[in-house]
Copies of this chain bind each other. A is one copy, B any other.
Amino acid sequence: MNILDWNALESDGQARALTRPVQAVAAQTRESVAGLIAQVRADGDVALRAISARFDGVVPESFEVSEAEFAAAELAVPAELRIAMQQALDRIDVYHRAGMAQPYSVETAPGVVCEKMIRPIGRVGLYVPAGSAPLPSTALMLGVPARLAGCSEVVLCTPPRKDGTADPAVLVAARLTGVHRVFKLGGAQAIAAMAYGTATVPSCDKLFGPGNSFVTEAKQQVAQDGAAAIDMPAGPSEVLVIADAGANPAFVAADLLSQAEHGPDSQVLLLSDDAGLIAAVQDEVEKQVALLAREDIARKALDTSLLIKVESIEQAFVISNRYAPEHLILALREPRDWLPQVEAAGSVFLGDYTPEALGDYCSGTNHVLPTAGAARAYSGVSVASFQNQISVQAATREGIANIGPCALTLARAEGLGAHANAVALRLGVAP
């Protein structure tokens, strides 16, 4: 990891330090994905079989997971894991349920009632990656809010394993959350199938979930085409830790590494006003990384990661808000006192005993979060992500008598005569 002194940098050096290592999507990826999508649109299931054979090295006998496979998955998953998934699910449910938007109604003028109705998005598609590791936790993070929203059909795609089956833990997690149908499909082909539909995969109104660069590019392309909405743009995972002199270097190092092991393009930043802490964290990272099963991946991520010395914790928050990290860990003595300083981040972790791993799995918050600075204008997945909010208005004769003249004046000012006429007719006046 490289150490930088923030205040010794010129402004372009500072900007460079906060630039994500990811580059723009390669033109080649964009074209490949466009080609795969076109193939699925043209040839449906036939294309899905051809593409799966090419990329996954296997064509499942049936893409849809059967009852027999779900039953086998239940037997294959150890009891301890099943219980842990249920516990995580329960906490995710409690947190997400508490934040659900409520319908409301307000009289904006005598005889004019304006309301908000909340409706589930009809059919939603969830993507659960299974690259270097299958992620049953992602099935929980997407399935729970989909169920709370009341979506009538929840579809989940996850890549097949080499033997053509799906990861049992992902299947059990999907069933625990009430997902309706699971397909063994990965990559851009899964996204294309859920967006446009094939004979076996239904077309969905909105797609959710993380994925590799092909998956995220495919989500962007189907959204751009208007085929399906998507949860958010996605990039590699990232964490920013703000630590003071009192932080525990071993804890901070462990948190940095739990981000770094996600992938070689993960980004990890530490900001501290204490040079001693930074040095101690660096030592700890070296010690801990050598013990990791995913040491190679973590080391690659660390190559582009930074330990930054700042002049004060206040300055650290200015930098953090500019960077807008997906995960923000406050390894500070009175972390709650600093919360008002947080303007842009996906999810925040307070104090020495709240490692990011808790939020990744089971504190209750969602782990599908905005990356690559998107936290400046996007929020993580919530129940609202699976709902439409529809406004409703009802005016009585008295109501339109009260507000109609205002509408008439504005319609005339905008030169929209038919608008004026629609109001004037009800008022019995000239438009």
Q: Which residues of A contact B (CB under 8 A)?
A: 24, 80-81, 83-85, 87-88, 91, 94-95, 98-99, 101, 104, 106, 108-109, 112, 114, 116-117, 119, 121-122, 132-137, 169, 205-206, 220, 224-226, 228-229, 233, 250-251, 254-255, 257-258, 260-262, 288, 291-294, 298, 335-336, 339, 342-366, 372-380, 382, 384, 387-397, 399-400, 403-407, 409-411, 413-423, 425-426
Partner of A377, one of B121, B349, B358, B400: B121
User: Residue on B with the closest CB to A322?
Assistant: B122
Can you identify 21 A-B contacts, CB atoms within 8 angstroms? A81-B413, A88-B406, A94-B106, A205-B377, A229-B377, A251-B422, A258-B422, A294-B415, A294-B416, A348-B392, A350-B392, A351-B395, A353-B396, A355-B422, A357-B416, A358-B400, A359-B393, A361-B411, A362-B407, A365-B392, A379-B389
A258, B121: Cβ atoms closer than 8 Å: no
Complex Cα spacing A182 to B159, Å: 49
> A292-B417, A342-B390 given. 11 additional CB < 8 A pairs?
A80-B409, A84-B413, A87-B403, A106-B364, A226-B233, A228-B377, A261-B419, A353-B396, A354-B399, A357-B422, A361-B411
A414, B135: Cβ atoms closer than 8 Å: yes
A251, B426: Cβ atoms closer than 8 Å: yes
- Contacts of A99 on B, CB cut-off 8 Å? 104, 116
- Contacts of A351 on B, CB cut-off 8 Å? 394-395
Complex Cα spacing A357 to B393, Å: 11
Q: A356-B422, A389-B379 are in contact. Are A91 and B109 (CB under 8 A)?
A: yes
Main DSSP-derived SS at the A contact region: mixed
User: Residue on B with the closest CB to A340?
Assistant: B117
A95, B88: Cβ atoms closer than 8 Å: no
The 9 closest A-B pairs by CB, nearest first: A229-B377, A108-B364, A350-B394, A84-B409, A254-B422, A365-B391, A355-B422, A379-B389, A91-B108
Question: Nearest Cβ distance between residue A302 and chain B, in whole angstroms?
Answer: 11
Question: Nearest Cβ distance between residue A293 and chain B, in whole angstroms?
Answer: 5
Q: A224-B224, A416-B261 are in contact. Are A364 and B388 (CB under 8 A)?
A: no
A119, B389: Cβ atoms closer than 8 Å: no
Complex Cα spacing A187 to B370, Å: 29
Most buried by B among A87, A397, A422: A422
Complex Cα spacing A285 to B336, Å: 62
Q: How many copies does the complex hold?
A: 2
Question: Nearest Cβ distance between residue A141 and chain B, in whole angstroms?
Answer: 11
Q: A95-B114, A226-B374 are in contact. Are A423 and B84 (CB under 8 A)?
A: no
- Contacts of A419 on B, CB cut-off 8 Å? 258, 261, 357, 360-361
- Contacts of A346 on B, CB cut-off 8 Å? 390-391
Partner of A375, one of B251, B366, B388, B393: B388
Partner of A407, one of B24, B357, B374, B411: B357
A418, B377: Cβ atoms closer than 8 Å: no
- Contacts of A416 on B, CB cut-off 8 Å? 133, 258, 261-262, 294, 357
Question: Nearest Cβ distance between residue A247 and chain B, in whole angstroms?
Answer: 13
- Contacts of A288 on B, CB cut-off 8 Å? 418, 421
- Contacts of A251 on B, CB cut-off 8 Å? 422, 425-426
A114, B393: Cβ atoms closer than 8 Å: no
- Contacts of A382 on B, CB cut-off 8 Å? 389
Most buried by B among A205, A206, A363, A375: A363
Complex Cα spacing A95 to B403, Å: 14
Partner of A353, one of B116, B349, B391, B399: B399
Complex Cα spacing A389 to B346, Å: 8
A342, B117: Cβ atoms closer than 8 Å: yes
